[in-house]
Amino acid sequence: MSDTEWACHELLLRLAGRLPDDILWRFRDWAATDAVVVLARALPRALLHDRIGLTDLEMNLLADAVLSNGADRAMLSSVEGVDELSESGYTFTAESPDRVSMGDSATAVLGATLRGRQGVGEVRTAWRQGGADQVTRRIVLIAATTGHARLTGEVQRVLRALGEHDPCVEVVPLGMELPPYHQAALAASEPICTGAEVDGHLVPV
C-alpha cells in the first residue's frame, strides 16, 4: 500500500462515527477500488458540507490522501481545524438492542469468509446506537496486517449482500492505538473469528 493509499484509509478509519454512514461506506468502497480521483474531489466537499473539523494529524492525512489526486487546495484550506474531538454521542453493546438484526447469518458468513485468512487477526462485532438518525447498526472490527482498504471493501460488499445498506466495517492495522470511537466499540464487542494472525489483537488504550 502506498503512502497515499494508507493516508486515505487511516483518515476514513478516523472519520467513523463523524461522516454519515451512507457516505463513509461509499468513500471506503472508492478507496478499495482505486477510484481515488473521485474520492479526492468528494471527501473535502463532504467535510465542508457536514462541518466536520479535523485534528492536525487528520489534516496531514487529508493532504497526503487527496492532493496528489487532484483535490482543490482552496477547498482543503477551508476545512476546519480542531484541537480535540468531541464526544461521539454513540453507545455500543454486544447484542442488538432491537433484537432484530442479520444475526447468525452475518456472523456465520463473516466467520466463513475471514477465519484462518492470511493477514487477518481477530474479527469482532458490536452494535451501535445513537447519533442523528438513532438507527442501530452493526460495527465490524477487524485487525489486519495488509490490504486494509481492499479488505474493508470486500467485507462491506458481503454485508450489503446480506441486507446491510450502510455497512460499518473498521479494518485496523495491528498495533494501532484505536481512536475513541473504536475503543468504545471494542470494549462492547464480541468475537466472530480469528484469521491466520492468531496474535493479531485489536489494541485498546
How much is the pTM? Answer: 0.92
For residue 36, the model assigns a pLDDT of 87
> Bridge partners of 128?
92, 137
Is the predicted pLDDT of residue 102 greater than 80, yes or no? no
Q: pLDDT tens for residues 129-143?
A: 987 777 889 999 999
Give dist(CA 205, CA 188) in Å, integer.
14
Q: E strand or H helix at 93, and its extent?
A: strand 90-93
From the list 77, 71, 70, 68, the residue with the least C-alpha distance to 48 is 77
Judged against a pLDDT cut of 60, whether residue 198 lies above it is answered with: yes
Check if the beta carbon of residue 55 is closer than 8 Å to that of residue 82: yes
Average pLDDT in the chain? 90
Alpha-carbon torsion, ordered 142, 148, 149, 155, to 10 deg: -30
Element (H, E) at 137: strand 137-144
pLDDT tens digit string along 22-58?
999 999 999 999 898 899 999 999 999 999 999 999 9
Q: What is the pLDDT of residues 109-159, one digit of tens each?
A: 999 999 999 999 999 999 999 877 778 899 999 999 999 999 999 999 999
Kindly indicate the confidence band of residue 203, based on its pLDDT and cuts at 50, 70 and 90: low
Confidence of residue 205 (pLDDT cuts 50, 70, 90): low
